[in-house]
Structure 1
Amino acid sequence: MKNKVKTNKSVAKRFRVTKNGKILHACANRSHKNYHKSGSRKRRLDVESQLQSGDKRRIRRALGI
């Protein structure tokens, strides 16, 4: 009998998968102490970045894909 794979909910809140299978995540250093960061730095950190290929398999497994 085959077991279902449960989605790791903490991972599901941090990553999202695009239609083409890319895994995106939010940049670090954006949550607090933003008063000393420049506006351009904060805008750059707003954009989601693509996950590096070394972590891709582990994150996909945690997402249940």
Structure 2
Amino acid sequence: MPKMKTKSSAKKRFTVRAGGTIKRGQAFKRHILTKKTTKCKRQLRGVTGIHERDVASVRAMMPYA
């Protein structure tokens, strides 16, 4: 059987941690930042995990991660 391909979009957006959880970057932090409050932008820093309902679909997109 040939190898399964990893979806390029998933490869760019998600990282699988050593414990098996998947991390992602925060949304709403790229542009149109002038109308967002400082508190909002500060709380959007860093990374977060993905929702438990999305884990199966992300794992299907990244079969070897």
Q: Percent identity?
A: 28
Instruction: Tell me what 2:35 maps to.
Output: 36
Residues 4-53 of structure 1, C-alpha deviation per residue, up to 9 Å, x if partnerless?
11110111101111111110111111110001212221121122111111
* SS of equivalent residue, structure 1 residue 54: coil
- In the alignment of these two chains, the number of paired residues is 64
| Mean Cα deviation higher: 38-47 or 5-14 | 38-47
**TM-score normalised by length of structure 2:** 0.86
- Moved >2 Å (runs of 4+): none
Larger fraction in helix: 1
**Structure 1: 5+ residue stretches without partners:** none
Aligned pairs (5 A) from 1:43-54:
43-54=42-53
